[in-house]
Chain A
């Protein structure tokens, strides 16, 4: 393969842009997290660095770099350094298969706005997300600190538990698309046939699992301050800590993008035909990229919104929710979806499925649950 072909350069440029966007959004997520927290608590939030505090991420980065980079004496030095690197690496790798847009032609080169369209796209996301827990696990173990280790163990078991329900939720999506390729999944949802309308239950399951996979509140037990000091990053300081926090924000954005891809039509948006007819294909595709990023940012906002609303789960509640609630629910969802596709009415099946589920729960509640006395 000719490495310096126009196609290769275009892809390289696109990947560079995606990296820049991802990192920029992750940096500003820290700012918006603090701003949103402030607004939700009737405060003003950071406003000293620049107008409205928009230079706060820069100030934070400078602070992170200037701090002492401390490595505990009895830690495993190389793994201690490898932990945050691995976290950051896996966080950034996931964006490779997210289809940011349809095909564009720039300067005679036709290429997809997607890092790489592999036929195992969604499996790649899963693989990398599973690898992501290694960053936390290695960092926590290498710290040679009981709290760090506890945090790391929690992270590992939590991610494994919720990956099951997540995978089962995705199987229902795959029944529609018939392909693991993220591109094919998005193309199956064009013109408003978003999976959210067919998979409301699946989406809720996926959303909850995404919270757990990103270690966000209410599932942030690995870094639970009240019990574990800082969790897996107790011993970390300086930019190594910064990398862990940064990776979390990148994961948030990427999981938002993945959710938009799987359930909200990816780069589809209302009026795409009109924009294509008026301004040409390229503009329409770039607007679509904006739409995908907008949807992802909306999910980032939901992540933050939930964080500043809900308290943290207890660990047994977390495991109970994952194993005893979400996995049976997602199995039920797969069965309902398969049945809907079999009879050729997936939309009706989705609605009937939710109604039946709630009805069944109500009947179970009436028959078997002790009522409140008062």
Chain B
């Protein structure tokens, strides 16, 4: 008696006539390749065409501004602490009167640098940030760099531009 009735007899015996003639199998195989011949390619012309990588892809960093255009970052340093690759460094400064339009809190990051050679794009800075200031964009990758001068991204490259704001799916 069998324990389960799922035993498969693997002894094949001789091939059947159609199997020995090969031709039916060949015609079937050629039909398969012809079907693929007319189907849409799954690859794309990469540098010209880009795929949508999803709403949670972790690309280039961005330092968000609020609706009035003031920087959210207060240079608390939690992102730098959270960063396992130690890619983030910053210098804090105190906001002086008249700069309320530029910085939301009394303290701001005078220098904010991300070393893109070190960064592993884990997104822990994003999770650590209490002010929702730093994000990894889902739509932009860090471009290829050719020299080490281009590696460290300062505020000039990181801070959000008000004319092209970054909006992630699900945000208002």
Given contacts A36-B37, A305-B34, is CB(A373)–CB(B29) below 8 Å? Answer: no
* Chain B residues with CB under 8 A of A305: 30, 33-34, 37
**Does A348 sit within 8 A of B, measured CB to CB?**
no
Task: Determine the chain A residues whose CB is within 8 A of the CB of B13 once the complex forms.
Answer: 370-373
Check if B14 sits within 8 Å of A41, measured CB to CB. Answer: no
Interface contact B17-A44, CB-CB below 8 Å:
no
Contacting pair A309 B9 (CB below 8 A): no
Is B41 in contact with A38, judged by CB distance below 8 angstroms?
yes
Closest CB-CB distance, B12 to chain A, in whole Å?
6
Is there contact, CB below 8 Å, between B9 and A39? no
Residue in B9, B16, B44 whose beta carbon sits within 8 Å of that of A373 in the complex: B9
Q: Is there an interface contact between A361 and B45, defined as CB atoms closer than 8 Å?
A: no
Number of A residues near B (Cβ < 8 Å) is 24
Q: Are B29 and A42 in contact (CB under 8 A)?
A: no
Given A42-B42, A309-B26, A309-B30, the answer on whether A371 and B36 have CB atoms closer than 8 Å is no
A372 to B11, CA, bound (A): 8
A-B contact count (CB 8 A): 62
If A374-B8, A374-B9 touch, whether A309 touches B33 (CB-CB below 8 Å) is yes
Q: Of all chain A residues, which has the CB nearest B23?
A: A204
- The answer to whether A306 touches B30 (Cβ under 8 A) is yes
Q: Are B33 and A44 in contact, CB atoms less than 8 angstroms apart?
A: no
Interface assignment of B32: CB less than 8 Å from any CB of chain A:
yes
Task: Determine whether B39 belongs to the interface, using a CB cutoff of 8 Å to chain A.
Answer: yes
Instruction: Name A4-32 residues within 8 Å CB distance of B.
Output: none
Does any Cβ of B come within 8 Å of A227's Cβ? no
Query: CA–CA, A306 to B38, complex, Å?
Result: 16
- B45 CB to closest chain A CB (Å) equals 6
- With A309-B32, A310-B29, A371-B14 given, can you name 18 additional A-B contacts, CB distance below 8 Å? A42-B36, A42-B41, A42-B42, A42-B43, A43-B41, A43-B42, A43-B43, A204-B23, A305-B30, A305-B33, A305-B37, A309-B26, A309-B30, A310-B26, A370-B13, A373-B11, A373-B13, A374-B11
Chain B residues packing against A (C-beta within 8 Å): 8-9, 11-14, 16-17, 21, 23, 26, 29-30, 32-34, 36-45
Task: Report 25 cross-chain contacts, Cβ distance below 8 Å, ordered by A residue.
Answer: A38-B41, A39-B36, A39-B38, A40-B33, A41-B36, A42-B39, A42-B40, A42-B41, A204-B23, A305-B30, A305-B34, A305-B37, A308-B33, A309-B26, A310-B29, A365-B17, A369-B14, A370-B13, A371-B13, A372-B16, A373-B9, A373-B11, A373-B12, A373-B13, A374-B8
Q: Which 4 A-B pairs have the closest CB atoms?
A: A365-B17, A372-B13, A309-B33, A374-B9
Instruction: Spell out A's residues near B (CB within 8 Å).
Output: 36, 38-44, 47, 204, 305-306, 308-310, 361-362, 365, 369-374
